[in-house]
Amino acid sequence: MVRMTEVKRTQLSHLTAQLDDLRQRGTYFKLRVLEDEQGPVCTYDGRRVINLASNNYLGLCDHPKLREAAISATENYGVGSGAVRTIAGTMRIHMELEEKIAAFKGVEACVVFQSGFAANAGTVSSILGKEDFIISDELNHASIIDGARLSRAKIKVFRHKDVAHAEELLKEVASEPGRKLLITDGVFSMDGDIGPVDRLCELADRYGAIMMVDDAHASGVLGRNGRGSVDHFGCTDRVDVQVGTLSKAIGALGGYVCGSRDLIDYLYHRARPFLFSTSHPPSVAATCIAAFELLEREPERIERLWGNARYFKEQLAAAGFDVGGRTTPASETPITPVIVGDGRRTMEFSRELFEAGVMATGIAFPTVPEGKARVRTIMTSEHTREQIDQALETLTTVARRMGIL
């Protein structure tokens, strides 16, 4: 008699084979476990490390005001919303957060999703259909790619930040009756470069395309008080759909879409993560409201972030690291890649750095192109100059020892 567990194992043997393949390539990973609060120095797997890996750009994951807001919302409204938004799960505090974000961004309306991923995938998949076209940067986030596939629209991919190529693709489909969506990340998460939002807006105007920007890494980082790349380029009136995340600089969890009242109403009725997945606990909404208040009140956090980012980037380049710019785009934001090339060596570099007290994530194919594996570093406003110098020294020492420098 065959036992159930054996049957299951056999049915999933293709997964085991793929995991073995990852081990062979040296890109298999184990999850590192954070044992205290997210911060510039914290404890992963029992080791105290300088943290260059988190998206906690403004140190808000552990801000006392945000903690307070979460605790008080929990005391007042409990821990869960109890339903999806359209059934019974829309709480007053969800509406307050959406109003807060819309006012902050200077747009008519906003809808919050459970994550930035859900915001992108839910929006792209619901505003287009199979007669339509998506013109998308080759390095756009996975959630845009998945949303595009779910929409069943025809997908045309332009070379990274190549506006002329985007125009060629728009020209190719100009006479087709379907709608066209032109879409870019505001900040690209692997290289830290900024999308050409203003020039793409010109194209969208010229070709009558819907313009959409995913500002996950620009929210709280670029623009006035962290309003994002669209604000940075002065394009608020020209971008139809602005996506942002509440999971990075804002310090909590969630994603949002900003735009016209009709766009948001439509998403209420058609976006599947909104319709079929339970809304945030009230504590998350309260946390985010407190975070936006902080952005308005304490822009100096963003200035500190940029000061740290500039210093760290300059020092990395001065030490001789390949931080992109020759064959890969140059970082223009607090994300700076340290390019190693080979996937296995990159993962080794990341492990050695960890042993030496620096947490910097190794990223290899297929997340980045073959031969462009890197450890990705991210500065925050909360890193002190001593921590940054210590991290630089460790990066240099380990890289020299491994022959990377």
Q: Which residues bind ligand PMP (CB under 6 A)?
A: 115-117, 120, 141, 143, 185, 189, 214, 216-217, 245, 247, 255
What radius of gyration, in Å, describes the C-alpha atoms of the chain?
22
* Minimum separation from the CB atom of position 16 to ligand PMP (A): 27
Contact 318, 327 (CB under 8 A): no
CA dist 311 and 332 (Å) reads 12
Task: State the catalytic residue, choosing from 161, 217, 280, 383.
Answer: 217
Q: Which amino acid appears at position 56 of this protein?
A: N
Nearer to ligand PMP, 125 or 247 (CB): 247
Q: Which amino acid appears at position 221 of this protein?
A: V
Nearer to ligand PMP, 153 or 216 (CB): 216
The sheet that has 109-113: what strands, in order across it?
A: 109-113, 255-259, 241-245, 210-214, 180-185, 133-137, 154-158
Q: 242 has which bridge partners?
A: 213, 258
* Minimum separation from the CB atom of position 248 to ligand PMP (A): 7
8 tagged catalytic: no
14 tagged catalytic: no
* Minimum separation from the CB atom of position 102 to ligand PMP (A): 18
CA dist 388 and 381 (Å) reads 11
Task: State the catalytic residue, choosing from 248, 280, 372, 383.
Answer: 248
Nearer to ligand PMP, 256 or 321 (CB): 256
Contact 135, 129 (CB under 8 A): no
Q: Which residues contact 149 (CB under 8 A, 6 or more apart)?
A: 155
* Minimum separation from the CB atom of position 223 to ligand PMP (A): 16
φ, ψ (nearest 5 deg) of residue 199 = -75, -35
Question: H/E/C letters for each residue in 336-353?
Answer: EEEEEECHHHHHHHHHHH
Nearest Cα to 364, choosing from 351, 383, 380? 351
Task: State the catalytic residue, choosing from 189, 229, 279, 283.
Answer: 189
Nearer to ligand PMP, 81 or 143 (CB): 143
269 tagged catalytic: no
Nearer to ligand PMP, 136 or 247 (CB): 247
φ, ψ (nearest 5 deg) of residue 325 = 115, -25
* Minimum separation from the CB atom of position 218 to ligand PMP (A): 9
Question: Which residues are tagged catalytic?
Answer: 189, 217, 248
